[in-house]
Every structure is written in structure tokens, then in C-alpha cells.
Amino acid sequence: MPSFDLLNRVELFMRAGTFPVEASKSSKKVTRAASKHFIYKDGCLLRFYRGRLLRVVRSDEEVREILVRYHDHNKHAGRVRVIKEIMLMYYWVGVTEAVKTWIQACAVCQSRTPPEPPAPRVQFCLAYGCDASSYVYPQLSFHRFPKDKERRRKWLVVSQRDEGSLRTNSCLCSRHFEPACFSLSEEGQLTLSPDAVPTAMPVTVQEDEVPVPSDEDFLQYGTLEDLLSTAAAETTDPSEAPVELQEHQYCLPGPDPDSGEVQTAVMELKRRKTVIEPSFKAYNQIAR
């Protein structure tokens, strides 16, 4: 339990203006200086602490009663919560140590199963174009950027990043280091050498990426329809391409213009032209 000797001397000095008979000169000086933080009112000693007026506890029995109330009868709350709630109302020298000792001696708290450790944070590789993470590739190891300015600059050059991209948990995965950069520890684990420098890794491009047309592509073609038709022709499967006309096939007589199939095809072309022209009029002007 905490010692109440200083608080008793402060209470005597503020109540009667005297010191204990056996008090030394240095003890009187300490008591007089400490009394500036206290006030004696209605037979109670109070202390100003963090903008609040707290009641001073000056006996072991009262300390036990407070600990039982704020811990045992408070669903066996944790140390931080108990200290915070006590220091909102009471004050004595050694509140933190008293709460810690009380919880360590509590049979209920000691019989509780320890909480499961939190899952490790997922780490990502900072190198440009690298998709490695500790969740997708648990077999990889991740290494934080060095504090040495010159070594960190070399790491940034290889990873194609700058100082503004770095965070406290920025890492590079083990795929960017040569096998010679690792050494086997006594526990049988691979550790990265202190002077290791990563090597450049090629940037992988997804196969399903579609190139986006640039401004030069728009200027090269007369209209947006030409650009779209060219792009469609490039992406069309060669096996689905139409059969080329045979020699002199253009000289063969065409279908009867009065037939129903021809009339239907002409109407369909007119309808498509009517729908497409207003939609692409603005795009054609921009492209030109």
C-alpha cells in the first residue's frame, strides 16, 4: 500500500499551520512547497489536478474500498480503465502502482484466458509494378527501407519511387534481392544482409489491357469512325475475317435493286446513319 506520510504532514500544515515535532528543515521545506497544490475545506484535504478538484485518500482501508469498487465491482476492468476512473475522483501518491498490484493479485483476472494475439498486418511491396503482398504470397519476406540515406536512395532507384512515397511501414519483397543478399541465421531463418541492395525487376503488363487512343491517334485519322473502324480491324480475330473477293468477281451482276432483300438492307443503312451522325458530329469536329 502507498505511503501517506507526506499527505499527513500537508494536512497538518494546512489545518493547524504547524509541522510534526521530529520534522527536519528539508522536510518542512518539501511540505510547504507541496501544500500549494492542496486545499483544506470542510475537514477534507483536496488537491488540484488537471483542472479538477480531487479528494485526497489518506488510509489503506479507503484505498481498498476504492479498488474493490472500481475493479472488483466493475466487471474486473483493466488497469488503464481503473486508473482513469479513479483519478477522476480521488488522489493519493502511487495510484498506478496500487492498481497494478491489486490486479496482479486478483484471482479472477489471473484465471482468464489471455486474448488471442492480433493478426499480423498485411505488407505490400512498394516497387513499381510489383503486386506482391504478405497475404497473397506468404512465402515471401518483406524488408523495410533502410534509415541510411545513401542505401535508401539506391532502394528507391530500383523500386522507381521517391522519398515522398515512403511510409513508416514501406517494404520491398524478397523477389527484388539476389540469393547472395541473404544469410542463414542460427534459428534457421533467412535474414537480409545489412548492406544488401535490391536488383531491378521487370514490370509485368497484364495481357487483357486494351491500349487507350492518344491525341496523335485522333489527329492521324479523319473522323472518329475511321479510328474506331481501324481499332476494330486490329482487334478482330483473323479467323473471323471476311473472305476476299476472287479475281473478276466484281464484274458479276449484282442483285436486283427492286428485290425485297436490297430494299431492307438500304433501309437498315439509312436508319444506322440517322442514329450515328448526330451522336458523332461533335467528336468528328474535335478530331478534325
Exposure letters 11-37 (e unless 16+ CB within 10 A, then b): bbbeeeeebeeebeeeeeeebeeebee
CA distance 172 to 130: 9
Measured from the Cβ of residue 66, the count of other Cβ atoms closer than 10 Å reads 21
- Element (DSSP H or E) covering residue 38: strand 38-41
Exposure letters 153-173 (e unless 16+ CB within 10 A, then b): eebbebbebeeeebeeebbbb
What are φ and ψ of residue 23, in 5° steps?
Answer: -70, 135
pLDDT top residue among 282 and 263:
263
For residue 37, give the DSSP letter.
G
Instruction: Report the alpha-carbon angle 169-174-175, nearest 5.
Output: 125
Q: How confident is the model at residue 263 (pLDDT cuts 50, 70, 90)?
A: low
Alpha helices in the chain (DSSP H): 5-16, 25-34, 60-67, 79-86, 95-104, 107-111, 149-159, 215-220, 224-235, 260-287
**If you search the block for the grid coordinates 471476311, which residue do you land on?**
242
Residue 81 has pLDDT above 90, yes or no: yes
CB 56 within 8 A of CB 92: yes
Single-letter code of the amino acid located at 196: A
Residues facing residue 44 across a β-bridge: 41
What are φ and ψ of residue 134, in 5° steps?
Answer: -70, -15
**Listed range (11-25, 98-112, 211-225) with the worst mean pLDDT:** 211-225
pLDDT tens per residue, range 45-59: 898 887 888 999 988
Distance of alpha carbon 257 from the chain centroid = 71
- pTM metric for this prediction: 0.43
pLDDT top residue among 45 and 250:
45
CA dihedral 267, 268, 270, 274 (to 10 degrees): 130
Query: What is the layout of strands, in order, in the sheet containing 38-41?
Result: 38-41, 44-49, 52-56, 90-91
pLDDT tens per residue, range 9-46: 888 888 888 888 888 899 899 999 988 888 888 888 89
Q: What is the DSSP string of 79-143?
A: HHHHHHHHTTTEE-TTHHHHHHHHHHT-HHHHHSPPPPPPPPPP-BB-STT---BTTT-TTS-EE
Give me the mean pLDDT over the 171-199 stretch: 87
Q: How confident is the model at residue 229 (pLDDT cuts 50, 70, 90)?
A: low
Give all domains of the chain, ordered by start, each with its CATH number: 5-111 (1.10.340.70), 116-209 (no CATH), 210-233+253-288 (no CATH)
Contacts of 178 (CB under 8 A, 6+ apart): 199
